[in-house]
Structure 1
Amino acid sequence: MISLVRYMFTVLLLSQRYLAPLLLFVGLAAVLTSNDTGPLAATYSAVAASMLLCSTWLTMALIGLEDPPHRSIVVVSAGGHLRVLLGSVATAAAWCLLLTVAGLGLPLLFGTHTVGPADLALGTEAQLVSAFTGMAVGLVCSRLVFRRQGYALVVALVLLLAVMLGKGMSPVNVMLTDLQHASNSADVLGSTSVLVAAAALLLAVGTAVTHAITVKKS
């Protein structure tokens, strides 16, 4: 699995398809947190919203790197569709973890804040909630599920709007609401950790659905 992740990480790096979602993340985080002096809980909610969009785009780009014949070769070499899919999930998660580090630092660079351990922990949790949810959306809207990427894009936009704006419909919506109204990061640290687990479960469901459709189509 480590070799598979290393291969996918390298392929994405050389393809440069990570640049667009990366620039989107940095640009949104910079604009949304520039000159901010409010509570870091609300600030990190803006960064988490950026992570949601970036992780979705990054996951779709990663899975769409290889055409069907090339992917078939990778599946045979790796030992099955599930192993390749899990490698894709692990690779996308690794990229999101790197972005999470950047997401913790950008608000401190562009704004004026007094930061504590609880703030950094909350910022990490918030971005993980968004990353796991965005990866789930990216999986079910990837080329493995939708052959026509125009349809995939429309479905992805609808799902992203639903998870962000649908009241209580997703861990992301609940988290954004909690963080926007929190004056102290420590107050919502425990509840956000529960949302991380819920988002991880959502990612597992998205992986299972994508695998089932992939196997059925193959």
Structure 2
Amino acid sequence: MIALIRYTFSTVLHTQRYLAPVLLFTGLMGVLTVNGSGPLPPAYASSAGALFVCSTWLTIALMSLDDATQRAIVVISSGRSLKVLLAVIGTALLSCLALMVFGLFFPLWVGSYDVTPVDLLLGMEAQLTCALVGIAIGVLCSRLVFRRQGYALVAALALVMGALFAKGMPPVNRLFNLMATTSDSAELLAPAGGMLAIAAAILAAFTAVTQYVAARKE
């Protein structure tokens, strides 16, 4: 598994397909969090939203690194197609963890906040929740499921917009509503933990669906 993750990292670095989603993330962070003040939960909701969009795009890019022939070679070399899929998910998650550090501390650098360890923990929960959901959407909307890129793009946009704007929809919209209306981070830790568990379940379910569809096609 470690070798597969290293292979995925080296390939994405060589092709530079990470640049567009990472630049989008930093751009959104600059627009949404510069010169902020007051309670931190709304600022971290913005950071999580930026990471949500970035993780979706980045995962789709990672899932598209190899063409059909190269993927077949990698699958045969690794022994199981599921290992290849999990390696891509692991690469996306590690990348998002690195971006989370920026998402946690950039608002503190450019804004005026009174930060506590509880605030940082809430920010980590929120960003990890959105990263997991974004990775799940990216996996499901990859070419392992959709052979035509146009269909994959429409599906990804629909799922992203639904997760962001469907009122009360857990985990993303529900989490953002809680963070926008509650200024006490301590009160949000338990609900945010619940949203994180839902996000992990969504990722597991979408991964299982993607693997099932890919195995049938291959």
State the TM-score, normalizing by the size of structure 2. Answer: 0.98
The sequence identity of aligned pairs, in percent, is 50
**Gaps in structure 2 of 5+ consecutive residues:** none
Q: What does 1:62-211 align with in structure 2 at a 5 Å threshold?
A: 62-211=62-211
- Partner SS, residue 169 of structure 1: coil
4+ residue runs over 3 A deviation: none
Structure 2 CA distance for aligned equivalents of residues 106 and 213 of structure 1: 40
Distance in 1 of aligned mates of 2:117 and 2:36: 19
Deviations along 1:190-217, one digit per CA (max 9) or x if unpaired, are 1101111110110000100100010011
Amino acid at match of 1:175: L
Q: Secondary structure at the match of 2:167?
A: coil
Matched residue type, 1:191:
P
Partner of residue 215, structure 2: 215
- Return the offset for 1:169: 2.4
- Give the counterpart letter for 1:118 in structure 2: V
TM superposition shift of 1:143: 1.2
CA–CA distance in 2 between the matches of 1:105 and 1:134?
21
Name 1:51's counterpart in structure 2: 51
In structure 2, distance between residues paired with 1:139 and 1:94 = 15
Say whether 1:14 aligns with 2:14.
yes
What stretches of structure 1 of length at least 5 have no aligned partner? none
Q: CA separation in 2, counterparts of 1:170 and 1:10?
A: 35
**8 Å CA contact retained: 1:164, 1:170:** no
How far 1:133 sits from its partner (Å)? 0.4
Q: CA deviation at 1:89?
A: 0.7
Cα distance in 1 for residues equivalent to 2:62 and 2:27: 21
Q: Give the CA deviation at 1:172.
A: 0.6
Q: Is the 8 A contact 1:137 1:156 kept in 2?
A: yes
Count of aligned positions:
218
Q: Are the aligned partners of 1:41 and 1:119 in contact in 2 as well (CA < 8 Å)?
A: yes
What is the CA distance between 1:120 and its match in structure 2? 0.6
Q: CA deviation at 1:38?
A: 2.3
1:3-48 alpha-carbon deviations (Å, 9 max, x no partner): 1111111111111111111011111011101111021101000111
Distance 1:169 1:81 in 2: 32
Q: Distance in 2 between matches of 1:116 and 1:124?
A: 13
CA distance in 1, matches of 2:13, 2:184: 38
Question: What SS class does the counterpart of residue 168 from structure 2 fall into?
Answer: coil
CA contact (8 A) 1:22 1:54 kept: yes
| 1:116-142 Cα deviation digits (max 9, x unpaired) | 101110000000110000011101111
Task: Name the CA distance, whole Å, in 2 between partners of 1:153 and 1:109.
Answer: 35
